[in-house]
Amino acid sequence: MMVTEATPQWRGELFYDEPMAAHSSWRSGGPARRYYQPADIDDLCDFLRGLDRNEPLLWLGLGSNLLVRDGGFPGTVIASFGALSTFEWLDDNTLRAASGVTCSKVARLTARAGLVGVEFLAGIPGTMGGALAMNAGAFGGETWTHVVAVETLDHEGQLRTRYPSEYRIGYRSVTGPQDEWFVAAHLRLEHGDAAAAQERIRELLAQRGATQPTQQSSCGSVFRNPPGDYAARLIEAAGLKGASIGGAQVSEKHANFIINTGNASAADIEALIEQVRDRVQQEHGIVLETEVRIVGDKAAV
């Protein structure tokens, strides 16, 4: 059961032993020692200033692309969705989207405004914070192609504006200043046909629904595509479609998705990830790298 703590200096809500299965798109995972829902960015800055410098932090959007082990997370989870969800135009083709804004909302609002280039975000089931952290992409597009600046927050509650030149950007990879987290993106787009952009989004969503298990609990793509190939093709060629451990199963619809069939533990999912990686390496000589972030402690035996 959740227990909350109210303090004079914080306007958000602090929960103890919060079950992360309730905040993960995989619907599995143990409790976070502490879970904070800030009221706004100023409140979050105040909260961070009051934390011990060594407190482990986990920033959470919609809980996609994340596996929290069954032993839980031994630190504080910062829930950005809701509080950090502002969206504003900086000029006629540049927008500022806070880290808790969903990728799909960015795609819809920009298309409606006749700004094109990020329609692909409609197919990413997460928030802009996660999209920035991993250079999320789909259908040939990538997030950082359109980034002109980012806003970050560090462990001491210090806000900064940084630029793409301060980061090393790669395929599903972003490396930059340590111990800073993204709190907003500034995206610059091209003017285009609003109707065509909205139709493109409808087409992408239809394609996603036809090829991915969107109605089942998953994290999205589990593995990065290796150079010149596709993780899904390698997994399927290794005969792993439908393979399962406990309640975790490799999707019959898309081999690079692992679904929770109803009662999967985080341990089931992690074991299946390792089984897939091992089999693909044995069959193809390729070591698949995970897109999903795995955090926390394993359950005590």
In the predicted model, is pLDDT for residue 213 greater than 70?
yes
- To the query of whether residue 270 is one of the catalytic residues in this protein, the response is no
pLDDT tens digits for 108-152? 999 999 999 999 999 998 999 999 999 998 888 999 999 999 999
Q: Catalytic residue, from 27, 34, 172, 200: name it.
A: 172
In the predicted model, is pLDDT for residue 88 greater than 60?
yes
pLDDT given at position 1 = 36
Supply the CATH number for residue 275's domain. Answer: 3.90.78.10
pLDDT tens digits for 277-291? 999 999 999 999 999
Place of tokens 């952009």: 197
Q: Are residues 62 and 109 in the same domain?
A: no
Q: Catalytic residue, from 24, 28, 104, 221: name it.
A: 221
Q: What is the pTM of this model?
A: 0.90
Supply the CATH number for residue 7's domain. Answer: 3.30.43.10
Is 95 part of a structural domain of the chain?
yes
- To the query of whether residue 291 is one of the catalytic residues in this protein, the response is yes
pLDDT given at position 133 = 94
- To the query of whether residue 236 is one of the catalytic residues in this protein, the response is no
The tally of domains found in the chain comes to: 3
Q: Are residues 249 and 281 in the same domain?
A: yes
User: Cα(244)–Cα(28) distance, rounded to whole angstroms?
Assistant: 16
In the predicted model, is pLDDT for residue 3 greater than 70?
no
User: Cα(197)–Cα(118) distance, rounded to whole angstroms?
Assistant: 9
Q: Which run of H or E residues covers position 236?
A: helix 231-237
Name the residue range of residue 33's domain: 3-79
